Amino acid sequence: MISMIEFTDITAWIHSLLLSVLTPTWTYIVELALSGVTALVVLLVCVIIMVYMERKVAGFMQLRWGPNRVGPYGIFQVIADVIKLLLKESFSPNRADKVMFNIAPALALCVSLMALAPISWAPGLTMWDTNIGILFITAISSMGVIGILMAGWSSNNKYSLIGAMRSGAQIVSYELSAGLSIITAVALAGTLSTNGIIQSQADGWWILKGQIPAIIAFLIYVIASTAECNRAPFDLAEAESELTAGYHTEYAGMQFGIFYLNEYINMAIVSIIASTLFLGGWMPFHLPFDYPVVQTFNHIMDFIPTWMWFFGKMFLIIFFMMWFRWTFPRLRIDQLLKLEWKYLLPISIVNLLFAAVIIVLHWHL
Amino acid sequence: MFCIGIYSSLKKTGELNLYSSLQEEKLNIKPGSNGTNSVKLGKCHLILAQKKIKNKQMKSLFNYIKEVIYAFVSLAKGLLLTLRYFITIKKVNITEEYPNNRTTTISVKERFYGEVVLPHNENNEHKCTACTLCQMACPNNSIQIISKQIETEDGKKKRVLDKWVYHLDSCTFCYQCIDACPQDAIEMKNSFELSVYDRTKLIYQLNRPGSKLKEKPTVKEQQS
């Protein structure tokens, strides 16, 4: 049976293999490097799939075919684009703050990669299994704006600066309702650890067990996280019709490529968190009832490997975000702030109260 | 939860207490002396005003909820539309993959203005009487009608078409020649692959060699 081989077995095997060759200290260092590189490679593969998926989804939703020239069904389009970006010159404009200008993309990427640490990829496969994983992620995810602000400020270009400032206002606003909906899920699970949250959904995902508040919190989280990723319809930071390209107007070549990569990595992380909190991460789909039929169903679901559940849910939420992007028109800046402060924030506060009532009275399944 | 909030806010401002006390008084209104009645009537107006305030607050809350629900419904409509496109892309896609399908599935609408043609029937006859109205209508001299005099059987001299020269290189496909033609002799085809390597090849003679004017049926023939 394939499902008998778990990721923990593989990691244990690698650990014993390294221990037989190296000293314990070196084993630890090599394992750290190995886990980081593995996570990065997995994420980069996901990003390549996401870029291709985005262009195909965009095409299909606008009655086009999408890329279909490079390779069968255009699957090598992304690779061609990356080669083009790598071969282009990266230069900084005159009178730009050169150091900050060159640091900004790397910093933005670093910040978004930091959020990977406490993510639980599979049972027993967490880089940093801490008891404050979700708190760490909430703290880090609002730091992403630093790179954008730095890029906008150092470009010596008013469009870039306007874009960066808008992005700042947007992320500061939407951080609140995203945080409140995270708190709803955390309150339901009763723990901040990512592994703990996923374990608490062993008999059903929170979106099913948590009743209406969980559904509302999930919706609000998806909306707010779309805004946090600066994606359409909230892509005011790079509103191309007004600001050319916003904060990355002056960037070329792979420096632009890193910002592009950063957007997709952020999307991946946000959807991983959403799936961890509300859709049970790598946990198979279980129903929270005690009938024999349901138990059989739950058992059948266990046969689907956990990595399939993990990436399936991740790409489902990514598809939602792409779906929003290619359906809704861009909001104006006042509409953006109105949506957050007049609608999402009050609704999420009231929703949190409802969730608290449900938790206190043990009405959740 | 909203209702509780509103209720407590009303209670805090004392409006609700005032409202309930006035309500009690309202029930006690009886036909009595005019003075007291008028005071009580004034109080009644106050009650109505209070009610209005309460209604206003309830209404704004109602509008807020209505707005949110309406927003979700309208967003869902848009989402469903794009999802339908996404799922049924094979059916709804209108993209022509042009160079690949030029010999197979390509479809160009009939109304597309490609090039001017002079249709001939099976007897190699056309309807052009060489009246040159199309030549005069053409804004950029793309049409050149060369006519010749011939002698008919009964000795009459008649002007007939010799060459219908079409300069495709200067044609703007404006359709004015077709509008001008009184005989409906010329029309526009939807062919669009008209490019050549040498511009001298873009000068066409539209009437075929040996073609002649299609005779109109005479009055006698029409009657019979």
Measured distance CA(B20)–CA(B47) in Å, rounded: 9
pLDDT over 80 at A136, yes or no: yes
In a domain, A5, yes or no: no
On whether any CB of chain A is under 8 Å from the CB of B65, the answer is no
Who among B81, B86, B94 is closest to A60 (CB)?
B86
User: Each residue of A31-45: pLDDT tens digit?
Assistant: 888 888 888 898 888
Position A162 scores a pLDDT of 86
On whether any CB of chain A is under 8 Å from the CB of B68, the answer is yes
Helix (H) or strand (E) holding B159: strand B157-167
Measured distance CA(A205)–CA(A218) in Å, rounded: 12
On whether any CB of chain A is under 8 Å from the CB of B82, the answer is yes
Position A234 scores a pLDDT of 85
Say yes or no for a CB contact (<8 Å) between A63 and B81.
no
Position A1 scores a pLDDT of 40
Nearest chain B CA: its distance from A63 CA (Å) = 5
As a whole-number percent, the residues of chain A with pLDDT over 70 amount to 99
N residues, chain A:
365
Say yes or no for a CB contact (<8 Å) between B78 and A343.
no
User: Each residue of B54-69: pLDDT tens digit?
Assistant: 777 788 888 888 888 8
Position A64 scores a pLDDT of 86
The pair of three-digit structure tokens given for residue A129, joined into one six-digit string:
């299994």
Position B197 scores a pLDDT of 92
Q: B27: pLDDT confidence band, cut at 50, 70 and 90?
A: low
HEC readout, B32-79: CCHHHHHHHHHHHHHHHHHHHHHHHHHHHHHHHHHHHHHHHHHHHHHH
User: Each residue of B179-200: pLDDT tens digit?
Assistant: 998 888 888 888 888 888 988 8
pLDDT over 50 at B1, yes or no: no
Say yes or no for a CB contact (<8 Å) between A327 and B92.
no
Residues of B in contact with A60 (CB under 8 A): 85-86, 89
For residue A104, the enclosing domain spans 89-360
In a domain, A365, yes or no: no
Measured distance CA(A200)–CA(A186) in Å, rounded: 10
Measured distance CA(A56)–CA(A148) in Å, rounded: 27
On whether any CB of chain B is under 8 Å from the CB of A60, the answer is yes
C-alpha distances in Å from residue A309, one per residue of A302, A312, A333: 10, 5, 37
pLDDT over 70 at B22, yes or no: no
Say yes or no for a CB contact (<8 Å) between B97 and A65.
yes
Q: Which chain A residue lies closest to B67 (C-alpha atoms)?
A: A343
Q: Which chain A residue lies closest to B5 (C-alpha atoms)?
A: A350
Q: Torsions phi, psi of A29, nearest 5? A: -65, -45
Residues of B in contact with A64 (CB under 8 A): 93, 95
Say yes or no for a CB contact (<8 Å) between A57 and B2.
no
Instruction: Report the 10 Å Cβ neighbour count for A335.
Output: 12
In chain A, how many domains are there? Answer: 1
Residues of A in contact with B85 (CB under 8 A): 60-63
Q: Extract long-range pairs of B108-111: CB within 8 Å, 24+ residues apart.
A: B108/B190, B108/B191, B108/B192, B109/B190, B110/B190, B111/B190
CB A227, CB A335: distance < 8 Å: no
In a domain, A226, yes or no: yes
Say yes or no for a CB contact (<8 Å) between A327 and B1.
no
On whether any CB of chain A is under 8 Å from the CB of B63, the answer is no
**Of A232-236, B28-32, B174-178, which one has max mean pLDDT?**
B174-178
Residue with token string 């929003």: A324
User: Each residue of A109-133: pLDDT tens digit?
Assistant: 888 888 888 888 888 778 888 888 8
Annotate A112-150 with DSSP letters as a single string: HHHTTTT-EEETTEESS--TTHHHHHHHHHTTHHHHHHH
Position B37 scores a pLDDT of 55
Measured distance CA(B176)–CA(A122) in Å, rounded: 72
On whether any CB of chain A is under 8 Å from the CB of B98, the answer is no
Measured distance CA(A211)–CA(A278) in Å, rounded: 11
Q: Which chain B residue lies closest to A219 (C-alpha atoms)?
A: B72
Q: Among residues A206, A8, A24, which one has the least CA distance to residue A124?
A: A8
The answer to whether the complex's ipTM is over 0.90 is: no
Position A122 scores a pLDDT of 80
Average pLDDT of chain B is 78
In a domain, A17, yes or no: no
Alpha-carbon dihedral A92, A93, A97, A103, rounded to 10 degrees: -20
Side-chain-facing half-sphere of A47: CA atoms under 13 Å: 21
Q: Which chain A residue lies closest to B75 (C-alpha atoms)?
A: A328
Average pLDDT of chain A is 85
CB B126, CB B118: distance < 8 Å: yes
Residues of B in contact with A63 (CB under 8 A): 85, 89, 92-95
Residue B158, strand partner residues: B150
The pair of three-digit structure tokens given for residue B68, joined into one six-digit string:
């949110």
User: Each residue of B75-90: pLDDT tens digit?
Assistant: 899 899 989 888 888 8
CB A66, CB A77: distance < 8 Å: no
Annotate A228-276 with DSSP letters as a single string: HTT-TTS-GGG-HHHHTTGGGTT--HHHHHHHHHHHHHHHHHHHHHHHH
In a domain, A44, yes or no: no
On whether any CB of chain A is under 8 Å from the CB of B2, the answer is yes
Q: B30: pLDDT confidence band, cut at 50, 70 and 90?
A: low
Measured distance CA(B158)–CA(B164) in Å, rounded: 17
Residue with token string 């684009």: A81
Mean pLDDT score, B5-22: 50
Position B224 scores a pLDDT of 67
Say yes or no for a CB contact (<8 Å) between B97 and A347.
no
In a domain, A114, yes or no: yes
pLDDT over 60 at B16, yes or no: no
pLDDT over 70 at B20, yes or no: no
Mean pLDDT score, A255-266: 88
Residue with token string 């790397």: A106
The identity of residue A113, as a single letter, is L
Q: Which of A53, A57, A63, A348 to mutate to test the interface with B (most CBs of B within 10 A)?
A: A63
The contacts of residue B77 (CB under 8 Å, 6+ apart) are none
Q: Which of B70, B72, B77, B82 to mutate to test the interface with A (most CBs of A within 10 A)?
A: B82
On whether any CB of chain B is under 8 Å from the CB of A354, the answer is yes
Position B34 scores a pLDDT of 53
- Considering only residues A21 and B25, tell me which one the structure prediction assigns the higher pLDDT: A21
- Considering only residues A164 and B105, tell me which one the structure prediction assigns the higher pLDDT: A164
Instruction: Report the 10 Å Cβ neighbour count for B39.
Output: 11
The pair of three-digit structure tokens given for residue B37, joined into one six-digit string:
């009645």
Measured distance CA(B205)–CA(B143) in Å, rounded: 10
Say yes or no for a CB contact (<8 Å) between B86 and A64.
no
C-alpha distances in Å from residue A145, one per residue of A131, B88, B92: 26, 39, 40
Question: How large is the C-alpha radius of gyration of chain A?
Answer: 22
In a domain, A328, yes or no: yes
On whether any CB of chain B is under 8 Å from the CB of A323, the answer is yes
In a domain, A62, yes or no: no
Nearest chain B CA: its distance from A327 CA (Å) = 6
Residues of B in contact with A343 (CB under 8 A): 68
Residues of A in contact with B75 (CB under 8 A): 327-328
Measured distance CA(B115)–CA(B175) in Å, rounded: 10
Helix (H) or strand (E) holding B205: strand B203-205
3 state DSSP class of A334: helix
End-to-end CA separation in angstroms for chain A: 32
Say yes or no for a CB contact (<8 Å) between A64 and B92.
no
Alpha helices, H only, chain A: 7-21, 24-61, 77-87, 98-114, 133-141, 144-154, 158-189, 194-199, 206-209, 211-228, 240-243, 253-278, 292-302, 306-325, 333-338, 345-360
Tell me whether strands B125-126 and B212-213 are parallel, antiparallel or unpaired. Answer: parallel
Mean pLDDT score, A16-36: 84
Who among B1, B81, B95 is closest to A350 (CB)?
B1
Mean pLDDT score, B214-218: 75
Helix (H) or strand (E) holding B23: helix B15-27
